[in-house]
Amino acid sequence: MFTLPNLPYAYDALEPYLDSETMHLHHDKHHAAYIKNLNDALTGHDELLNMDINDLLKNLDTIPEEVKTKVRNNGGGHANHSLFWRLLMPNGGREPNGEVAEMINSNFGSFNDFKDKFSKAALGIFGSGWAWVIKKDGKFIISTTPNQDSPIMEGLQPILGLDVWEHAYYLKYNNRRNEYIENWWNVINWEEVKNQLIHSS
Ligand code: MN3
């Protein structure tokens, strides 16, 4: 069975950028629902219920056809949110240093260029989806996925990810996705980005 990971900080720890009420709904209701739906879909498929979520997503083509879409949507939702929580922290957001700064400078020019390109990609997603930094062919690029699709489904490792579903921001920011994105930069856990980076190589 897949289980809901606890947030690695208090629900109000990311205030004022991400508000407590949104964090409660997002984690306790939305993320929990993906997990419940995933477990329900895989009832009777014990070997799939016992797989690592990332391994499950890497092997979507081996999932029985009648549950594949549910696994794609809800398994993707579980993996994406599990990573998303870890990539946030209170008092985060200062400019990254070390390996992460090097990756950004060598692939995107400068931190400001990177911030601008990533924010534009996230803002430009039509409807619900995610913006990512992924490693592809030895280079790091910005990409987006619709719905709860994960780069892991394409065999690609996400380094950084931003949820732009309305449930991630609508309570506090209403339709102002641009303000949500701008404020998200204040709560990024660059240490965890570095961990993702190290594991991608
Ligand atoms: Mn979400």
Tens of pLDDT, residue by residue, the chain (201 residues): 999 999 999 999 999 999 999 999 999 999 999 999 999 999 999 999 999 999 999 999 999 999 999 999 999 999 999 999 999 999 887 899 999 999 999 999 999 999 999 999 999 999 999 999 999 999 999 999 999 999 999 999 999 999 999 999 999 999 999 999 999 999 999 999 999 999 886
What separation in Å is there between the alpha carbon of 102 and the centre of ligand 1?
29
Measured CA angle at 13 (ends 9, 14), to 5 deg = 110
What separation in Å is there between the alpha carbon of 106 and the centre of ligand 1?
30
**Three-class SS state of 158:** strand
Q: Cβ neighbours of residue 182 under 8 Å, at least 6 residues apart?
A: 119
The per-residue pLDDT for 8 is 97
The per-residue pLDDT for 178 is 98
C-alpha to C-alpha distances, 194 to 99, 100, 153, 160, 190, nearest whole angstrom: 7, 6, 22, 9, 6
What separation in Å is there between the alpha carbon of 197 and the centre of ligand 1?
22
The per-residue pLDDT for 130 is 98
Q: Which residue is listed with tokens 């092997």?
A: 59
What separation in Å is there between the alpha carbon of 93 and the centre of ligand 1?
20
Going along the chain from its start, the domains and CATH numbers come out as 20-86 (1.10.287.990), 98-199 (3.55.40.20)
The per-residue pLDDT for 91 is 86
The per-residue pLDDT for 80 is 98
What separation in Å is there between the alpha carbon of 78 and the centre of ligand 1?
9
The per-residue pLDDT for 199 is 86
The per-residue pLDDT for 58 is 96
The per-residue pLDDT for 92 is 80
Q: Which amino acid, residue 165? A: W
The per-residue pLDDT for 201 is 65
